[in-house]
């Protein structure tokens, strides 16, 4: 059994027991978090597709940790003007452990 959920503008294929990193969520470590934007659920060959989401379906996950990703370097350059600027960016994330998939 697996599901496709949407969070933070991205879609993730998850199953019970999986660990995923998603965009930063406002939840405390150790709490349960419900992802309610479920677009597809597959259960023993039966596929349930939402339009766009499945009503009353959710994926329950436990918040494992918060953190920052690796540093990305952004370099701005304009030719003929001696204009250069170097910036760094680290995206915040939340690590989730999938507990169960609840169908409608």
Residue 52: asked if its preceding bond is cis (omega within 30°), the reply is: yes
pLDDT tens digits, one per residue of 48-88: 999 999 999 999 999 999 999 999 999 999 999 999 999 99
Residue 80 has a pLDDT of 96
Q: How many CB atoms lie within 10 A of CB 38?
A: 24
pLDDT averaged over every residue in the chain: 96
What is the band of 100 on the pLDDT scale with cuts at 50, 70, 90? very high
Residue by residue, DSSP assigns 79-90 as TTTTEEEEEEE-
Separation between Cα atoms, residue 45 and residue 15, nearest integer Å: 14
pLDDT tens digits, one per residue of 16-47: 999 999 999 999 999 999 999 999 999 999 99
Residue 104 has a pLDDT of 72
Closest CA to 69 of 35, 8, 32, 22: 22
Residue 91: pLDDT over 90: yes
Separation between Cα atoms, residue 31 and residue 85, nearest integer Å: 41
Separation between Cα atoms, residue 77 and residue 58, nearest integer Å: 46
């Amino acid at each position: 059994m697996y599901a496709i959920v949407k969070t933070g503008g991205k879609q993730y294929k998850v199953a019970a027991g999986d660990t995923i990193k998603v965009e930063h969520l406002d939840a405390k470590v150790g709490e349960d978090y419900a992802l309610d934007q479920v677009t597809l659920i597959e259960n023993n060959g039966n596929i349930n597709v939402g339009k766009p989401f499945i009503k009353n379906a959710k994926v329950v996950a436990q918040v494992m940790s918060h953190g920052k990703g690796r540093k990305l370097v952004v370099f701005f350059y304009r030719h003929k003007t001696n204009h250069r600027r170097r910036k760094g960016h680290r995206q915040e994330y939340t690590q989730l452990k999938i507990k169960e998939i609840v169908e409608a």
